[in-house]
Amino acid sequence: MTGITLTAEQIRNAPPEVRRWIEHEVMTSLGLAADAPVTAQPVQAAHLVACSVEQAARVLAQIEGVLPAVNVFFEFARPGISFGQPAMLAFRLIDILHHARLQNIEQVMTALGMINQAFAQVRGDATARFCGFDNEGHVFVAPETQRSIAALWQGVIAKQNTVPHQAA
């Protein structure tokens, strides 16, 4: 047996298919994935649509009472990995689970379902989807959607920084 060591930078800069293979190997070695061939599956979405800043704000207004959904929503402000043609941004469900501090993937999927539903209502199109999925634990959004959510997040932070702090 031969082993190799890769830095996080080397893995980040590897082609997508190499990153998927590494991810699959690590998950399999931890007993977290079925021993299935590593092949890219098409995104499963009825109609993946880019989300503007205004639409993102309206989606946020619809889900703001459900903190896990809000946390998952703002995960898309992070940079994703560009994938496919036309380009989409890929995010790993396991990373969203960790960053949003949820207990299981089902909670992430429930939050994503709420976001997709709210987005369809905002768009007035029942087939419009905020995000799509593959069979390997990834969620995809349009690059414009990521930029819109990042801009919305920056606006939220800026707004909080202008609110005067009250003495306790």
Asked if 147 and 97 count as a contact pair (C-beta separation under 8 A), the reply is no
Domain contains 136: yes
pLDDT tens-place string over residues 27-57 = 666 555 544 444 444 444 357 899 999 999 9
**Which candidate, 33, 50, 134, places its Cα nearest to that of 87?**
50
Task: Tell whether 8 and 50 lie within a shared domain.
Answer: no
**CA 35 to CA 93: how far, in whole Å?**
19
| Domain range for 14 | 1-39
The residue with greater pLDDT, 163 or 142, is 142
* pTM exceeds 0.85, yes or no: no
Say if residue 99's pLDDT is above 90. Answer: yes
Residues β-bridged to residue 88: 83
Q: Residues 47, 114: one domain?
A: yes
Q: How confident is the model at residue 136 (pLDDT cuts 50, 70, 90)?
A: confident
